[in-house]
Amino acid sequence: TNLLLIKDQNITMEDKLDLINVDGQDTFIFHGALSYEPKCCTNCGCMKEGNNIVKNGFGNPLKVALLKISECPTYLRLKKQRFKCRECNSKFCAETSFVQKHCSISKNLILYIMKNLSKTLSFKDIAELSNVSVSTVVRVMKSCKEAVEVKTHSNLPEHLCFDEIKSTKDSKNGMSFVFLDAKTHDFIDIVDGRTQHILKQYFMRYSRKVRKKVKT
């Protein structure tokens, strides 16, 4: 778990590591199992009391793609505990933060793909570095669209309040520009930098019509 940076303590690793040859490529296969005492049934929501939710064996192992090790594709064959709820007579599977539901690549690998997406690399380069398909790289990129999208460019208030603030260490500019709606005091955005050039570039993202709405 230390080597693979698995933080979920419900995952236990088997004392076994396979090195197999897949189409001429050395490939590592780790083996692990995910199990815990569930707090409640994921179907009917009833809390676990006594024997109303019982363990019900393991499903087929999930093949989870991990970060490469020594340049070799690496996978974890993860057995997931199945549970049976006697209240609603349904079955459900153990879940982990290490691999999202319905996903076959680890969170760590997704973060690695995201990190590479911020660099000047082609989808194909990233796919090769991460041992996933190009379509997976594109899917990861689309999944973070929401988080990185700047949603403030559609409108500006009539009156702006702004100030300069000291930037955080990850900024190359010493000072940042912060602005808000003078009437509502609603925060609008922080701009990395406060020079004319940076601010002009920033505000030019708004349409001319929107910019002309600003009076003071």
Which positions touch Zn ion (CB under 5 A)?
41, 43-44, 85, 87-88
**Which single residue is written with the structure tokens 């996933």?**
132
Provide the 8-state DSSP code for 215: -
Per-state percent for the chain, helix, strand, coil, to nearest 5: 20, 35, 45
- To Zn ion, the closest distance from the beta carbon of 42 in angstroms equals 8
User: 49 or 146: whose CB is closer to Zn ion?
Assistant: 49
User: 45 or 174: whose CB is closer to Zn ion?
Assistant: 45
Task: Give kind and range of the element (H or E) at residue 138.
Answer: helix 134-143
For 33-67, the DSSP string reads EE----SB-TTT-PBP-TTSEEEEEE-SPEEEEEE
User: 20 or 44: whose CB is closer to Zn ion?
Assistant: 44
- To Zn ion, the closest distance from the beta carbon of 43 in angstroms equals 5
User: 44 or 47: whose CB is closer to Zn ion?
Assistant: 44
Contacts of 22-28 with CB under 8 Å at 24 or more apart are 22/73, 25/72, 25/73, 26/72, 27/72, 27/73, 27/74, 27/75, 28/69, 28/72, 28/73, 28/74, 28/75
- To Zn ion, the closest distance from the beta carbon of 51 in angstroms equals 13
Edge-first strand order for the sheet with 187-191 is 160-166, 175-181, 187-191
Provide the 8-state DSSP code for 167: P
- To Zn ion, the closest distance from the beta carbon of 54 in angstroms equals 11
User: 88 or 93: whose CB is closer to Zn ion?
Assistant: 88
Nearest to 91 by CA among 61, 140, 53: 53
User: 88 or 117: whose CB is closer to Zn ion?
Assistant: 88
- To Zn ion, the closest distance from the beta carbon of 163 in angstroms equals 54
- To Zn ion, the closest distance from the beta carbon of 68 in angstroms equals 40
